[in-house]
């Protein structure tokens, strides 16, 4: 039975005093937010669940280094982002095997979208749009993809992105810009076909 009710700092104190079970409360408390960001970065449910497990495991092992003035949710969130980045980095060699080619070929792209989205109800083709978006995301590098997710979907500031990725804020900002540029290039086919 997991004990709830204590705040994160009290729980961490108990864990470091040898109460392993107390860590369960932290896991329960923060699992959903970690799964959310992990899924957004990895785009894969199984990978996202692996990331959540790995993040909590790393967090437990590094808990002695956790500084009391920090916020545990922010701390474990950053660990999860790193785990997700590692996961994405490991599979990025396959990133360019997506159906959307690297070059922006209007004719080919037009066919890809127009074939499935022709007709007056094209605005309802959210599945195709998501597929195109996913393909565009996969064209990004692991860092660009993670930075874009954190900026566009998690509303993180460039400072927060830099801290999560272990890079300077300006480097995080540049990663976001490159990601947006590539995404727009990919999604321009959508604009043409619609």
The Cα–Cα gap between 156 and 33 comes to 14
The Cα–Cα gap between 66 and 60 comes to 10
Binding to other proteins by residue 52, rule CB under 8 A? yes
Residues 77-116 binding other proteins (CB under 8 A) are none
Angle at 81 between CA 76 and CA 83, to 5 degrees: 95
Binding to other proteins by residue 65, rule CB under 8 A? yes
Q: For the chain, how many helices (H) and strands (E)?
A: 9, 0
The binder of other proteins chosen from 3, 7, 16, 168 (CB under 8 A):
16
Residue 73 near residue 28, CB atoms below 8 Å: no
Nearer to other proteins, 20 or 120 (CB): 20
Residues of the shown chain interacting with other proteins in the complex, contacts defined by CB under 8 A: 2, 12-13, 15-21, 23-24, 27-32, 35-36, 39-40, 43, 45, 48-49, 52-53, 56-57, 60, 63-65, 67-68, 126, 129-130, 133, 149, 151-153, 155, 157, 173, 176-177, 180-181, 183-184, 187-188, 190-191
């Amino acid at each position: 039975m997991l004990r709830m009710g204590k705040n994160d700092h009290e729980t961490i104190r108990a864990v470091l005093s040898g109460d392993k079970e107390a860590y369960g409360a932290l896991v329960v408390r923060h699992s959903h937010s970690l799964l959310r960001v992990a899924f957004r970065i990895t785009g894969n449910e199984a990978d996202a669940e692996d990331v959540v497990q790995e993040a909590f495991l790393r967090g437990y092992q590094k808990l002695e280094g956790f500084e009391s003035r920090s916020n545990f949710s922010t701390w474990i969130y950053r660990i999860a982002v790193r785990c997700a980045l590692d996961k994405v980095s490991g599979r990025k060699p396959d990133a360019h095997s997506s159906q959307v080619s690297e070059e922006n070929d209007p004719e080919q792209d037009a066919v890809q979208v127009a074939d499935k989205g022709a007709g007056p109800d094209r605005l309802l083709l959210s599945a195709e749009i998501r597929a195109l978006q996913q393909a565009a995301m996969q064209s990004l590098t692991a860092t660009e993809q993670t930075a874009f997710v954190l900026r566009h979907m998690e509303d993180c500031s460039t400072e927060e992105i830099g801290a999560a990725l272990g890079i300077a804020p300006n480097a995080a900002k540049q990663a976001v810009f490159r990601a947006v540029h590539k995404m727009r290039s990919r999604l321009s086919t959508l604009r043409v076909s619609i």
